[in-house]
Amino acid sequence: MTLGNLPSAMRNAPTSEAMYLVALLPIPPKKKKLKQRQKDRIEKILQECLYDVLLPLAEAAGGPVEIDCCDSKRRSCHIRICGWIADHIEYVKLLGLKPQSCPKCEVGFRDLQTVGRDWPARDYQAYMEKRLDADDGNLRSAEELGKLGVSPFHPALSSLPNIRVDGLHKPDLLHGIHLGLTLDILEWTVAFLKKYKRTDAFDRAWLSLSPHVNFERFTKAYSQITQWKGKELRHAGKILISTVAAALTAPSPAERAPFRKMQECLLAYVNFHLMVQYKFHNETTLGYMTDYWEEFTALREEPFRQFRPTAKAKKNSESYTRKAKKDLEDTMKTFDGTAREKRTEEASKLARIETEAKAIYDSLSSFNYIKMHLPNHFTSSIRAFGCLGGFSTDAGELAHVKQLKDGWRASNHVNAYRQIIDFYNRKYQFRIRELNLLQVEREQVDETLTERLRNVFDSFYTAEERRELHRMN
Ligand SMILES: [Zn+2]
């Protein structure tokens, strides 16, 4: 849990302890080998746990709450539950949607790559009523829910009081942009360079960059990085245009046109990628951001489509070809006519199979996936809640180590849940006390305080003095 009215720089800093661990949810067994009934049961238990954990908070949001603050004053506080920070898969589970559904609007699965159109916003209250209808055996309601990409089970959030479910979704830069689209674009770019045999020049340029303010140089070539971090992809966005330009110098006359188109598309994406990270926005920057996104979506088809063969597209088109060819063989066995007629007939049928298989492949290997749709909601989110970096999952993922892994390591691994929470709470309370005292010292309330604090916290010493102290101990 975190507080929305902290400045985002402070909220996202791991040292400020702005993320608080509220509860540990039970870890269900892996779902792969389970029956549908068992899967549903796991889903239900998780939602019930969420309901129990969140109920006190949701009830508190109904009116003012008296809270004792660290400056020993008592204040009357109003709690508003305004967001849940998670990645896309967690959102669809929380909100009771299907994996390829948009949490903000009712866009259909076939329209995910369409840009510049608005779909009706999701009405989670109406879904609740439809779900109850469907539970009573109303098949039409169940069918409507299925069409809208809504799953039949009841999500806990919809039944809690004082929560506006439609406002909970926040764009996630880490998984949606950096580890999502930027990584995809990087992969397609490298595939493009490979096609034109330019990867060596790209790797040389990639490795030769020297460190700069806000840029850490890469120590590994692109092909050697197997596990990407969000930070690396942020840095990659800064250098991609220039390294690709260096790799594509001196094109032959035939290469000139594809190279230019690819670089134009890449430039539009990188501009968009840099703009979503802006800390402040106004109408002009928002306009630029939308324009770059639209430019990228208009240009992406030609240079990058060929590098987007999803495994499913390949599998489906191949299995179609295999089946159709076998059918053709069977019909040809009973073919009545001369050998020449048979050959012509076979050739024309084979050609038709090939076009059919290509159509299947094309329909599945397009840019029609959810990551391509979510950026359409960035502008409205920035207008309502400010810069996107404030809601990224970065901070939560970082806090995970401190909140869980350290506690797990310190436990005896027997019934570890309780031990992890106790361990974390103890550390957390000491740290919060330290932060409060540091703040009091900074405000110079008491002049003798610094001297007294120096006896307790080594954060008051310079790095040099701290090393000296450790040596003496
Ligand atoms: Zn949408």
Q: Indicate if 332 and 424 belong to the same structural domain.
A: no
Looking at residue 465, its pLDDT comes to 80
Question: 5: CA distance to ligand 1 center in Å?
Answer: 26
DSSP run (H or E) holding 379 = helix 378-385
Residue 186 lies in a domain: yes
6-15: per-residue pLDDT in tens? Answer: 888 888 888 8
Task: Using DSSP, state whether 66 is helix, strand or coil.
Answer: strand
Residue 135 lies in a domain: yes
The average pLDDT across 132-151 equals 87
Q: Indicate if 85 and 231 belong to the same structural domain.
A: no
Instruction: Supply the mean pLDDT for the chain.
Output: 87
The average pLDDT across 128-132 equals 89
The average pLDDT across 361-375 equals 82
Question: 120: CA distance to ligand 1 center in Å?
Answer: 9
Question: 424: CA distance to ligand 1 center in Å?
Answer: 38
26-76: per-residue pLDDT in tens? Answer: 887 777 778 888 888 888 888 999 999 999 999 999 889 999 887 788 999
Residue 62 lies in a domain: yes
Question: 144: CA distance to ligand 1 center in Å?
Answer: 18
Question: 107: CA distance to ligand 1 center in Å?
Answer: 6
The average pLDDT across 86-113 equals 88
Residue 383 lies in a domain: no
Q: Indicate if 263 and 188 belong to the same structural domain.
A: yes
Question: 295: CA distance to ligand 1 center in Å?
Answer: 19
The average pLDDT across 348-369 equals 80
pLDDT band per the 50, 70, 90 thresholds, residue 299:
very high
Question: 331: CA distance to ligand 1 center in Å?
Answer: 48
Residue type, 365: S
Question: 435: CA distance to ligand 1 center in Å?
Answer: 41
Percent of the chain with pLDDT over 70: 96
Looking at residue 291, its pLDDT comes to 95
Question: 376: CA distance to ligand 1 center in Å?
Answer: 7
pLDDT at 400 over 90: no
Looking at residue 374, its pLDDT comes to 93
Last residue of a domain, one of 285, 307, 329: 307
Task: Using DSSP, state whether 465 is helix, strand or coil.
Answer: helix
Token pair for 18: 């702005």
Looking at residue 447, its pLDDT comes to 67
Q: Indicate if 320 and 268 belong to the same structural domain.
A: no
Q: Indicate if 349 and 267 belong to the same structural domain.
A: no
Task: Name the residue range of residue 446's domain.
Answer: 411-472
List, as one string, the DSSP characters of 124-171: HHHHHHHHHHHHTT-HHHHHHHHHTTB-SS--HHHHSTT--GGG----
Mark 255-294 as b/e (b = at least 16 C-beta within 10 Å). Answer: eeebbeebbebbbbbbbbbebbebeebeeeebeebbebbe
Question: 165: CA distance to ligand 1 center in Å?
Answer: 15
- Choice among 203-212, 341-350, 354-363 with the minimum mean pLDDT: 354-363
The average pLDDT across 305-313 equals 77
Q: What ranges make up the beta strands (E) of 334-469?
A: none
The average pLDDT across 71-87 equals 88
pLDDT band per the 50, 70, 90 thresholds, residue 305:
confident
pLDDT at 149 over 80: yes
- CA 95: distance to chain centroid? 16
Q: Indicate if 145 and 194 belong to the same structural domain.
A: no
Of 432, 439, 403, nearest to 420 (Cα)?
403
Last residue of a domain, one of 290, 307, 324: 307
pLDDT at 408 over 70: yes
Q: Indicate if 126 and 224 belong to the same structural domain.
A: no
Q: Are 21 and 421 in contact (CB under 8 A)?
A: yes
Measured CA to CA, the distance from residue 319 to residue 327 in angstroms comes to: 12
Question: 151: CA distance to ligand 1 center in Å?
Answer: 17
Tell me how many domains the chain contains. Answer: 4
Q: Are 324 and 356 in contact (CB under 8 A)?
A: yes
Question: 427: CA distance to ligand 1 center in Å?
Answer: 41
The average pLDDT across 416-445 equals 85
pLDDT at 361 over 80: no
pLDDT at 446 over 70: no
Question: 179: CA distance to ligand 1 center in Å?
Answer: 20
150-197: per-residue pLDDT in tens? Answer: 888 888 888 888 888 888 999 999 999 999 999 999 999 999 999 999
Rounded to 5 degrees, φ, ψ at 97 are -120, 170
Specify burial of residue 295 (Cβ count, 10 A radius: 0-12, 13-18, 19+).
middle
Question: 289: CA distance to ligand 1 center in Å?
Answer: 17
Percent of the chain with pLDDT over 90: 32
pLDDT band per the 50, 70, 90 thresholds, residue 363:
low
Residues paired with 46 in a beta bridge: none
The average pLDDT across 105-132 equals 88
Question: 136: CA distance to ligand 1 center in Å?
Answer: 30
Residue 386 lies in a domain: no
Greater confidence (76 vs 111) lies with 76
List, as one string, the DSSP characters of 166-228: GG-----IIIIIIIIIIHHHHHHHHHHHHHTT-HHHHHHHHHHPPPBTTBPPPSS-GGG--S-
Question: 337: CA distance to ligand 1 center in Å?
Answer: 57
Question: 211: CA distance to ligand 1 center in Å?
Answer: 39
Question: 117: CA distance to ligand 1 center in Å?
Answer: 10
Question: 422: CA distance to ligand 1 center in Å?
Answer: 41
Looking at residue 197, its pLDDT comes to 92
Last residue of a domain, one of 104, 138, 169: 169
Looking at residue 399, its pLDDT comes to 86
Q: Indicate if 180 and 149 belong to the same structural domain.
A: no
Question: 85: CA distance to ligand 1 center in Å?
Answer: 17
Of 375, 403, 383, nearest to 88 (Cα)?
375
205-257: per-residue pLDDT in tens? Answer: 999 988 888 888 888 888 888 888 888 899 999 999 999 999 999 899 999 99
pLDDT at 370 over 80: yes
Rounded to 5 degrees, φ, ψ at 105 are -135, 170
Q: Indicate if 340 and 464 belong to the same structural domain.
A: no
pLDDT band per the 50, 70, 90 thresholds, residue 275:
very high
Q: How many CB atoms lie within 10 A of CB 223?
A: 12
Q: Are 394 and 174 in contact (CB under 8 A)?
A: yes
Residue 75 lies in a domain: yes
Q: Are 61 and 79 in contact (CB under 8 A)?
A: yes
Greater confidence (271 vs 135) lies with 271
Question: 375: CA distance to ligand 1 center in Å?
Answer: 9
Measured CA to CA, the distance from residue 442 to residue 179 in angstroms comes to: 39
Question: 105: CA distance to ligand 1 center in Å?
Answer: 4
Residue 379 lies in a domain: no
Token pair for 138: 């109303």
Question: 103: CA distance to ligand 1 center in Å?
Answer: 6
Question: 111: CA distance to ligand 1 center in Å?
Answer: 10
Measured CA to CA, the distance from residue 266 to residue 406 in angstroms comes to: 41
pLDDT at 422 over 80: yes
Question: 373: CA distance to ligand 1 center in Å?
Answer: 6
Measured CA to CA, the distance from residue 80 to residue 77 in angstroms comes to: 10
Question: 121: CA distance to ligand 1 center in Å?
Answer: 8
Question: 104: CA distance to ligand 1 center in Å?
Answer: 5
Question: 119: CA distance to ligand 1 center in Å?
Answer: 7
Looking at residue 219, its pLDDT comes to 87
Q: Indicate if 57 and 106 belong to the same structural domain.
A: yes
Residue 133 lies in a domain: yes
Question: 95: CA distance to ligand 1 center in Å?
Answer: 14
Question: 270: CA distance to ligand 1 center in Å?
Answer: 22
Q: Indicate if 273 and 177 belong to the same structural domain.
A: yes
- CA 472: distance to chain centroid? 48
Q: Indicate if 459 and 415 belong to the same structural domain.
A: yes
